[in-house]
Amino acid sequence: MLGTGMSKTIKAVFRPLVWLKEVLAWRWQHLYRLSSYQLTYWHRRRLRNTVFIGVTGSAGKTTTKDLIASILQAHLLQGTKNPDSLNFPEDMVKVLLATRKRDAYCVMEISAHAGPGGLDLPLALIKPQLGVVTNIGSDHLTLYQSRQAIADEKARLIRALPADGVAILNADDPLVWAMRSQFSGRVLSFGLSEHAMLRAEAISSVWPARLTLNVRWEEQSVQVNTQLCGSHWAPTVLAALATGIALGVPLPLATQALAATEPFEGRMAPLQIKGIDFIRDDWKAPLSTVAPAFEFMHAAIAHRKIIVIGTISDYTGDSSKRYVDIAKAALAIAACVLFIGPRASAALRAKRSVDDALFAFPSIRDAASFLSCYLKAGDLVLLKGSHKADHLQRLLIALQGDLQCWRADCGLMRSCLSCQYLHVASGPKAAFESKPVAVNDSVSKHVQPLRYKTDMQTVSVIGLGNPQPHLADTPHNVGYRTLELMAQQHGWEWQVGYAQTLIANGELLGRPVRLIKLACPMNEVGPLLRAWSTGSDFSVAHSIIVHDDLALPFAEVKAKLRGGDGGHRGVRSILQSFQDDHFLRVKIGVGQRDQNMPLADYVLTPFSPAQQAQILTAQAVAVQRVLELIRNLNAAQSKTKNGDAHAASSCQLS
């Protein structure tokens, strides 16, 4: 083997060659893009008889584009469109170069994902004669910071139209309707308001029926039957019809074309598996799209309604509060609500009691295991999430057969069914193995929150950490160390209990107290406690969890009544196993990581002597916080016994 010095010398010699290779590769890609753009500009000038239509907006672009293409195909027979939701410039280049002189139309969906000025390149490539703006919502709000900024970017499409072009605008959206002042040509408006030129009336969409509406245009009035799910698609239907009218398509012919067009995959698209009806709205999930999907579920007629929520995007403010608000709204509609993903545990704060069928699963694999036991024929299930982050489609695939890919970080924007990794084993193992259970209107026992007696007195103080001796003085072990300090102060002895767990029993402030150091990895803490709770006096509702917190400043101590996992795997494991966030926590801040050090390395790296001194002080403070929480529990129990519920609640932390 080569020595360390020789290895470094070889790397130093070849480093310039690696750099040169990367530079040449980037240069080649850059030149390729430029040449493809130049070729596209030239080809576009040759397509003088093809009508180019640009479609943009915050929501509904893909469906609008597909509906327009269906209408034009029925009248003009031949044309092109960008497939699926492929709306990057390189995707447009492929469609444009595939468009021939014989094609009567080319419909292009244009996205504003590139940020301010990002529409300039697509518009230069397409040179649209018709521009359709669906709406201005919260999609890309994080990027633009305001809806007005989003509207300004979308308005580039209208300003790019030629004088003899047509702007097709949503009259119900003030930000879209204001764009008419930026165009001197023909404007065709659509919407529900009286001043809309193409107007919808008598809109209805009550599952299992699909969307129907009456459309008025000048002196004509026709009924439009669609295969779409949800009344919120009415403006999208109107936008497509308005485009057809602008290009001379007879209204009756356009409505016939719409009736034959199926919903696009992942956009409120219905699918039935084993008698269970699924509504897939799992392609994108900006916050503004949640309410329309919930309105559809509220109006729907079904034996049971289940709502599954993945990652919600494009909102401002506290993410935990947003998820709690969404959970409350979902619980008002559905018999069972599931949240999936890294923020799922935050939703548990919406629980009003253990009877609320609200569950949080950090792993989609565990959610799939639960649903396989819970769902039955006649159920209506809404899947609402972001495909890139969640891939909720895997829940459906798992119900139908073998699925091996449970990754949470692939980030691929393609259907899971067409993915080559679908049957390649990857991702986290299941936190629990599902067992066949009787399916009824109550939730399966293997994940149902436990019910505890109110007269239980023992408080369990659980320190999270690692049992390996060489990890004793690391950030991930401060929970262990705090309990060791507590036992030492009170002279309690450690004994070996269930599953090699170390236990120290004693009494504080007149209440039995049990200190617990679990001898298992962080992600197995929850299942171990759950197994321990069966047939014992352990209650997570009468527990105090002591753990490290990377979000807190170093050596700062904070007590908390309830909440999400904050990214801590041990807390996440407890939340998933008990599906309840009603347990106390004492958190010790360890947030002093060098940004160049990987997180996994930092939490398992011993403290420096200076840090160790600070942490010892913090652990002493944490012991006092535990005593304060026990004192509050005693006061709350005393008030409750005396019938003063209001005073009892005031004894709890907020």
Pairing relation of β-strands 495-496 and 584-591? unpaired
Q: What is the dihedral of CA 60, 61, 62, 67, to 10 degrees?
A: 80
Query: For 225-249, how does the pLDDT look when each residue is reduced to its tens digit (9 = 90+)?
Result: 999 999 999 999 999 999 999 999 9
Average pLDDT over residues 1-21: 56
Nearest by Cα to 588 from 465, 460, 458: 465
State the pLDDT at residue 453: 37
Indicate whether 156 and 291 sit together in one domain.
no
DSSP state string for 530-562:
HHHHTTSS--GGGEEEEEEEEEEETT-EEEESS
Residue 252 lies in a domain: yes
- What local confidence, expressed as pLDDT, does residue 23 receive? 59
Arithmetic mean of pLDDT, 158-180: 97
pLDDT at 2 over 90: no
Distance between CA atoms of residues 387 and 84, nearest Å:
13
pLDDT confidence of residue 24: 59
Q: Does some domain include residue 110?
A: yes
What is the arithmetic mean of pLDDT over 391-396? 94
Final residue before a domain boundary, out of 259, 289, 315: 259
Per the CB < 8 A criterion, the answer to whether 395 and 354 are in contact is no
pLDDT in tens, 502-517: 999 999 998 899 999 9
Asked whether residue 331 is assigned to any structural domain, the reply reads: yes
Neighbours of 596 (CB within 10 A): 5
pLDDT given at position 566: 86
Closest-CA residue to 239 (of 101, 417, 107, 383): 107
Query: Could you tell me the pLDDT band of residue 530, with boundaries at 50, 70 and 90?
Result: confident
> Both 255 and 388 in a single domain?
no
Dihedral (C-alpha) 637, 638, 640, 641: value to the nearest 10 degrees? 110
Coil/strand/helix, residue 84: coil
Instruction: Please state, in angstroms and rounded to a whole number, the distance separating the CA atoms of residues 526 and 529.
Output: 5
Q: Are 254 and 273 in the same domain?
A: no
Rounded to the nearest 10 degrees, the angle between the axes of helix 525-533 and helix 569-578 is 40
Residue 12 counted as domain residue: no
Q: What is the pLDDT of residues 419-472, one digit of tens each?
A: 888 888 887 776 654 333 333 333 333 323 333 333 447 899 999 998 888 888
Q: Give residue 639's domain range.
A: 459-650
- Relative to beta strand 511-517, strand 459-463 is parallel
pTM recorded for the entire structure: 0.80
- CB-CB neighbours of 291 under 10 Å: 12
In angstroms, the CA 161 to CA 139 distance is 24
Same structural domain for residues 136 and 182? yes
Provide the number of structural domains found in the chain.
Answer: 3
More confident residue, 408 or 27: 408
Q: pLDDT by residue (tens digit) across 126-145?
A: 999 999 999 998 878 888 88
CATH number of the domain residue 207 falls in? 3.40.1190.10
Do residues 375 and 465 share a domain? no
The answer on pLDDT for 382 being more than 70 is yes
Segment among 8-17, 184-193, 383-392, 525-534 with least mean pLDDT: 8-17
Question: Which pLDDT belongs to residue 85?
Answer: 81
Is residue 580 a part of any domain in this protein?
yes
How many angstroms separate the CA atoms of 171 and 192, rounded? 8
pLDDT of residue 449: 34
Give whole-number Cα distances, 137 to 59, 66, 183, 372, in Å: 7, 20, 22, 35
Residue pair 285/386 in contact (Cβ under 8 Å)? The answer is: yes
- 388 with 527, same domain: the answer is no
Are 63 and 167 part of one and the same domain? Answer: yes
Residues 286, 255 share a domain: no
Residues 530 and 644 in one domain: yes
C-alpha span between 515 and 501 (Å, rounded)? 10
Are 579 and 621 part of one and the same domain? yes
Instruction: Please check whether residue 338 is in contact with residue 359, taking contact to mean a CB–CB distance below 8 angstroms.
Output: yes
Nearest-angstrom CA–CA distance, 446 and 461: 24
**pLDDT digits 0-9 by tens, 312-369:** 988 888 888 999 999 999 999 999 999 999 889 999 999 888 789 999 998 899 999 9
241, 259, 277 - which closes a domain: 259
Mean pLDDT over all residues of the chain? 86
Which CATH number do you get for residue 406? 3.90.190.20
Structural domain contains residue 28: no
CATH number for the domain spanning 600: value is 3.40.50.1470
The residue out of 259, 280, 310 marking a domain boundary is: 259
Spatial distance between the Cα atoms of 169 and 180, rounded to a whole number of angstroms: 8
283, two tokens: 């392609």
Query: How far apart are the C-alpha atoms of 175 and 275, rounded to whole Å?
Result: 43
SS3 28: helix
In a domain, 147, yes or no: yes
Q: Note whether 395 and 467 are same-domain residues.
A: no
For the ranges 12-16, 265-269, 476-480, 483-487, the lowest mean pLDDT is seen at: 12-16
Query: What is the separation of C-alpha 285 from the centre of its chain, rounded to a whole number of angstroms?
Result: 7
**CB contact at 8 A, 185 and 200:** no
> Would you say residue 587 lies in a domain?
yes
My answer on whether 247 and 301 are in the same domain is no
Under 8 Å between Cβ of 258 and 70: yes
Q: Percentage of the chain with pLDDT > 90? A: 60
What residues act catalytically?
476
Tokens standing for residue 107: 């419909």
